[in-house]
């Protein structure tokens, strides 16, 4: 039974590569999915604005058809505005006598058609379409920001787990060497080739490296928990990572990389769209200084009839035409301050855009420098690790011959452990620096 449970657990283990982890995160991460929904909503708003442009653009007159029949107890009315739509109302007034189906002696009947046509308009509906368009582009940039954030977080979390796993491998080797040192010290002490202090120091060293191994296991647990949460895996889902810990050198053309980053960096694109929105706000605010002229007219028939079957010709007709002029005669200081406010917002956004560009260039330069230095560290640490490994071997031989104290072997092992762990860190740091350049420039990571 125990064996069966173990096999089932093994079968349920998820094996993840970096590309598979990214695929899962893109499909499961709630922040990214939320950004996608906001983008979809903005696209729908833009479509609705485009549909309204033909209805309320000022190029097509607004025509309303209406009729009503009022019998006192029951009133029925309908209205249809072309091309924007209409509605039908049905309501009744109830008195002490209650609701009566039988119609009264007289019905008030009215049919009417009316229209309005604005002239000399700069078309506020087009402003609404442009505003919806730039809002949609801002949401698109927000989605790109969320996607880049997620990709970098997945890469960072993936290599965080790798770093913890490699650290455990190193610490497990250290524990093995420390155990061997304790046995060697005990044998040397028995032969009289080492003193009791050597044996005590070896035992203390073994305890310390076992504690370090325990800390490494705790770090791995936390790293895997955070990575699992990032991918929205079930808490009980076991997983292992498939990876090759190595460095793939990158050739960086800094000027071309910076130019590309400024054009594609989503936060700069978002600010650019917000600047266009601010310009639209200025245009809309200046509308307060404009006048507009609207032509109106209506024609209809109305009257009373004793039944629902009536003679349309017997109703009285009426008509009217007119013009409505709206002049900005109110306090123009309100409009003026609205224009000033919109212009200040525009200036602020332009300053933020310039600041963001400079910060982006600085971050790219920093990452390129880090990339170079991490690679140099990696090459140096490869050599240092080989030297430290040889040093451990030589010191153990001399300790066996009684030529040196046990503390020299412990120090040699510490050097070797440090170089091994630092080598792992240099590879992870180099890889994350590559990922950060992807994040900043949008260049393909794979």
pLDDT, one tens digit per residue, over 54-87 is 555 555 566 666 666 665 555 566 665 555 444 4
- 258 pLDDT above the threshold of 80: yes
Q: Average the pLDDT over 112-119 and give the result.
A: 72
Residue 321 confidence (pLDDT):
78
- 305 pLDDT above the threshold of 90: no
Q: Which of 92-101, 122-131, 168-177 bottoms out in mean pLDDT, i.e. has the lowest? A: 92-101
- 99 pLDDT above the threshold of 60: no
For domain 2-53+122-290+332-441, which architecture applies? Answer: Up-down Bundle (1.20)
User: What confidence tens digit (pLDDT) does each residue in 385-431 have?
Assistant: 999 999 999 999 998 888 889 899 999 999 999 999 999 999 999 99
Residue 121 confidence (pLDDT):
54
C-beta separation of 360 from 261 below 8 A: yes
Q: Average the pLDDT over 324-350 and give the result.
A: 82
- 91 pLDDT above the threshold of 50: no
Q: How confident is the model at residue 307 (pLDDT cuts 50, 70, 90)?
A: low
Q: Which residue has the higher pLDDT, 344 or 78?
A: 344
pTM of the model: 0.74
Q: Which residue has the higher pLDDT, 83 or 16?
A: 16
CATH 1.20.1600.10 domain residues, the chain: 2-53+122-290+332-441
Whole-number average pLDDT of the chain: 81
Q: Average the pLDDT over 39-65 and give the result.
A: 73
Q: Which of 209-223, 306-320, 341-355 bottoms out in mean pLDDT, i.e. has the lowest? A: 306-320
End-to-end CA distance of the chain: 44
Distances 219 to 144, 160, 216, 222 between C-alpha atoms, Å: 31, 9, 5, 5
């Amino acid at each position: 039974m125990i064996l069966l449970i173990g096999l089932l657990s093994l079968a349920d283990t998820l094996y993840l590569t970096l590309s598979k982890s990214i695929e899962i995160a893109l499909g499961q991460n709630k922040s990214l999915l939320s950004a996608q929904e906001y983008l979809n909503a903005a696209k729908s708003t833009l479509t609705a604005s485009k549909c309204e442009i033909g209805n309320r653009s000022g190029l097509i007159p607004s025509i309303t058809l209406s009729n009503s029949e009022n019998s006192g107890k029951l009133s029925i009315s309908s209205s249809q505005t072309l091309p924007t739509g209409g509605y039908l109302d049905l309501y009744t007034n109830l008195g002490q006598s209650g609701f009566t189906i039988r119609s009264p002696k007289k019905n008030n009947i009215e049919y009417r058609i009316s229209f309005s046509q604005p002239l000399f308009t700069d078309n506020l509906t087009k402003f609404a379409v442009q505003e919806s368009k730039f809002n949609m582009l801002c949401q698109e940039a927000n989605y790109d920001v969320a996607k880049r954030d997620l990709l970098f977080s997945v890469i960072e979390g993936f290599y965080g787990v790798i770093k913890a796993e490699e650290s455990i491998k190193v610490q497990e080797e250290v524990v093995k060497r420390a155990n061997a040192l304790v046995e060697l010290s005990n044998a040397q002490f028995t032969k009289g080739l080492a003193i009791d202090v050597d044996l005590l120091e070896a035992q203390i060293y073994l305890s310390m490296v076992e504690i370090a191994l325990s800390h490494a296991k705790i770090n791995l647990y936390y790293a895997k928990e955070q990575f699992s949460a990032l991918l929205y895996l079930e808490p009980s889902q076991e997983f292992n990572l498939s990876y090759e810990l190595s460095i793939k050198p990158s050739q960086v053309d800094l000027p071309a990389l910076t130019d590309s980053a400024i054009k594609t960096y989503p936060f700069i694109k978002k600010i650019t769209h917000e600047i266009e929105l601010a310009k639209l706000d200025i245009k809309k605010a200046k509308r307060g200084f404009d006048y507009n002229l609207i032509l109106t007219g209506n024609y209809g028939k109305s009257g009373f009839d004793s039944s629902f079957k009536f003679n349309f010709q017997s109703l009285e007709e009426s008509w009217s035409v007119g013009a409505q002029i709206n002049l900005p005669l109110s306090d123009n200081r309100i409009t003026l301050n609205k224009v000033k406010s919109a212009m200040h917002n525009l200036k602020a956004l332009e300053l933020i855009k310039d600041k963001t560009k400079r910060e982006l260039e600085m971050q790219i330069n920093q990452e390129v420098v880090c990339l170079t230095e991490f690679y140099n560290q990696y090459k140096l640490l490869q050599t240092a690790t080989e030297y430290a490994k040889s040093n451990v071997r030589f010191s153990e031989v001399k300790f066996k011959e009684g030529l040196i104290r046990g503390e020299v072997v412990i120090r040699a092992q510490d050097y070797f452990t440090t170089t091994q762990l630092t080598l792992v860190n240099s590879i992870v740091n180099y890889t994350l620096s590559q990922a950060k350049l992807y994040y900043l420039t949008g260049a393909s990571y794979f």
